[in-house]
Amino acid sequence: MSTKQQGGRTTGKFKTSEKTGASAEKSSSTESNIAPAAGKLGVMVVGLGAVATTFIAGVEAVRRGLAKPIGSLTQMGTIRLGKRTDNRSPLVRDLVPLADLNDIVFTGWDIFEDNVYESAAHAKVLERDTLEELRPYLESITPLPAVFDQYYVKRLQGNHVKKGKNKRDLANQVIEDIRAFKKKVDRVVMIWCGSTEIFIEPSAVHQSIESFEKGLDSNDIGIAPSQIYAYAALSEGVPFANGAPNLTVDIPAMIELSKRNAAPICGKDFKTGQTFMKTVLAPAFKARLLGVSGWYSTNILGNRDGEVLDDPESFKTKEESKLGVLDYILQPELYPDLYRDIYHKVRINYYPPRGDNKEGWDNIDIFGWLGYPMQIKVDFLCRDSILAAPIALDLVLFLDLAKRTPGLRSIGIQEWLSFYLKSPQTAPGLYPEHDLFIQSMKLKNTLRHIMGEDLITHLGLEYYD
Ligand SMILES: NC(=O)c1ccc[n+]([C@@H]2O[C@H](COP(=O)([O-])OP(=O)(O)OC[C@H]3O[C@@H](n4cnc5c(N)ncnc54)[C@H](O)[C@@H]3O)[C@@H](O)[C@H]2O)c1
């Protein structure tokens, strides 16, 4: 569907509302040929645990009118278009052609044989009544055998796994799974909702498609199961999202493959609870030039994710992802007096009684005028999977949109989806934007841009002409 067909908006110009002269002059090839979201969207979920089952059951509950998709920008969000005086704020899904929830078809892999109903019951996120109401549908989704190796997730042991002579063979088996699913649907997106793997540093095997493929043949230890799924997806032109902090597609080989096969990718690790709050509060301190001397973050959680993260090697992967945000937001090199000496600590403690209902505490030591100290305490009693499910939905729908959008599909990394992720992925040499409101603006301006709408800079001088 062209943007012209979608309501006669002008296309072909990169324009701004409340604009600067510079960006007003800039012209770019705005999209006018986004393919329609026709037919079925197949969603292949790796790991059918707490997040995945809450996502799948939630989509089905919304489809049946049992509940609202709260937390989902694609379903409930609006987007301002034009000037503030224009009074145009359609729903996001009325501006861009997104797949309808009724057109989503799920499948997935897990190392356990439990169907989605059984796994959701085990996860204990959703109420029993809700699960019973959805039971036949949830029972109909059974996992395909997984690619798994306990070396990469120490605390898990499952036997619903593929066997193969080497990693290449396993990748080929995943490719076969994708091809079989493609026969039932019109388009496919893959999302990793599997466990956090051990910390892996990028190495020679990750540097090009050729070295990666050699590594698949030689069973290189640097290739984790998540990368075997991602390789299979990108080889098949299937967009890939990563809900965990695993290295997965954050390597040159995958970026190359993503561009080559027009299979969009984005960063990693759903930004849900504590980090979501951190990326709201830290930009506020910086905007007001308040100093931060310490930020201590601790969590208790008792779900399977918590159990996996109890292993130091998996925790290290999560820790890196959670620690990264403050440095980038606070920019101590630009504000040495305010942030040079910050002590930032993150802990996660496995505490079974809480299940999925995590508690995240933050103690923040700040200082103000003349260096006088103050403290802020945040105690977020959240529900991990309830916060993650709408993010999974939005990522899937937006990656599918990117795949259908000529100007986005072959650029590889979709930085505009940073909004959803603790570790946004960026072009080499670019620092990631972690500030939630910059990320939100980037996302919405990308949607305006692909639909030929004016970008919004919030300058607003034209109202005072
Ligand atoms: N819930 C949140 O708020 C949140 C936020 C950010 C990131 N995450 C990440 O999302 C992921 C999922 O979280 P969860 O709470 O659903 O965990 P979970 O333990 O309930 O589910 C993970 C599932 O993945 C399966 N799995 C592991 N390795 C696999 C493999 N190689 N192939 C197929 N299946 C595999 C496990 O058997 C399990 O069923 C975790 O990595 C977690 O760190 C969650």
Secondary structure of 119-152 in HEC code, one letter for each residue = HHHHHCCCCHHHHHHHHHHHHCCCCEEECCCCCC
User: 17 falls in which pLDDT band (50, 70, 90)?
Assistant: low
Minimum-distance ligand 1 atom for the alpha carbon of 194: 24
Minimum-distance ligand 1 atom for the alpha carbon of 197: 41
Could you tell me the end-to-end alpha-carbon distance of the chain, in angstroms, rounded to an integer?
A: 37
Per the listing, tokens 């993260």 go with 309
User: 16 falls in which pLDDT band (50, 70, 90)?
Assistant: low
Percentage of the residues of the chain whose pLDDT score is greater than 90 = 80
pLDDT of residue 278: 93
Name the token pair of 50.
Answer: 């707490």
The preferred substitution site among 151, 153, 193, 307 for testing ligand 1, maximizing ligand atoms within 8 Å of CB, is 193
Q: Measured between alpha carbons, how far is 446 from 444 in angstroms, rounded to an integer?
A: 5
pLDDT of residue 20: 39
CA-nearest residue, atom 39 of ligand 1:
49
The preferred substitution site among 45, 46, 51 for testing ligand 1, maximizing ligand atoms within 8 Å of CB, is 51
The preferred substitution site among 162, 195, 223 for testing ligand 1, maximizing ligand atoms within 8 Å of CB, is 195
Residue 139 has pLDDT above 90, yes or no: yes
Residues 61-70, mean pLDDT to the nearest whole number:
97
Residue 306 has pLDDT above 70, yes or no: yes
pLDDT of residue 125: 95
Residues 309-316, mean pLDDT to the nearest whole number:
82
CB-based contact 89:24 (threshold 8 Å): no
Tell me the CA–centroid distance for residue 157 and ligand 1, in Å: 14
Tell me the CA–centroid distance for residue 196 and ligand 1, in Å: 7
pLDDT of residue 32: 59
pLDDT of residue 21: 36
Which element (helix H / strand E) includes 270?
Answer: strand 265-270
User: 245 falls in which pLDDT band (50, 70, 90)?
Assistant: very high
Minimum-distance ligand 1 atom for the alpha carbon of 385: 1
Q: Measured between alpha carbons, how far is 233 from 106 in angstroms, rounded to an integer?
A: 15
- What residues line ligand 1, using a CB cutoff of 6 Å? 46-52, 109-112, 123, 146-148, 153, 156, 158, 193-196, 225, 243-244, 269-270, 272-273, 303-305, 308, 384-385, 387-388
Mapping DSSP to helix (H, G, I), strand (E, B) and coil, where does residue 336 land? helix
Tell me the CA–centroid distance for residue 178 and ligand 1, in Å: 20
pLDDT tens, residue by residue, 350-385: 999 988 888 999 999 999 999 999 999 999 999 999
pLDDT of residue 8: 31
pLDDT of residue 137: 98
Minimum-distance ligand 1 atom for the alpha carbon of 49: 21
Residue 29 has pLDDT above 50, yes or no: no
Per the listing, tokens 């609006």 go with 78
> What mean pLDDT is reported for the chain?
91
Name the token pair of 250.
Answer: 């954050």
Tell me the CA–centroid distance for residue 141 and ligand 1, in Å: 17
Residue 243 has pLDDT above 60, yes or no: yes
Alpha carbon separation from 194 to 270, 326, 376, 385, 455 (Å, rounded): 12, 26, 34, 13, 37
Minimum-distance ligand 1 atom for the alpha carbon of 148: 31
Residue 26 has pLDDT above 60, yes or no: no
The lowest-confidence range among 9-23, 216-230, 409-423 is 9-23
The preferred substitution site among 305, 309, 316, 317 for testing ligand 1, maximizing ligand atoms within 8 Å of CB, is 305
Tell me the CA–centroid distance for residue 49 and ligand 1, in Å: 6
CB-based contact 232:175 (threshold 8 Å): yes
Tell me the CA–centroid distance for residue 243 and ligand 1, in Å: 8
Residue 460 has pLDDT above 80, yes or no: yes
Per the listing, tokens 């290189």 go with 220
pLDDT of residue 443: 98
User: 14 falls in which pLDDT band (50, 70, 90)?
Assistant: very low
Greater model confidence, 428 or 183:
183
pLDDT of residue 2: 34
Helices 252-260 and 209-217 pack at an angle, to 10 degrees, of 110
User: 91 falls in which pLDDT band (50, 70, 90)?
Assistant: very high
Q: Measured between alpha carbons, how far is 416 from 440 in angstroms, rounded to an integer?
A: 8
Q: Measured between alpha carbons, how far is 405 from 3 in angstroms, rounded to an integer?
A: 11
Tell me the CA–centroid distance for residue 79 and ligand 1, in Å: 32
Tell me the CA–centroid distance for residue 50 and ligand 1, in Å: 7
Minimum-distance ligand 1 atom for the alpha carbon of 53: 16
Given the DSSP bridges, would you call strands 343-350 and 291-301 parallel, antiparallel or unpaired?
Answer: parallel
Q: What is the DSSP letter of 35?
A: P
Phi first, then psi: what are they for 248, rounded to 5°? 35, -95
Q: What is the DSSP letter of 196?
A: P
Residues 120-128, mean pLDDT to the nearest whole number:
95
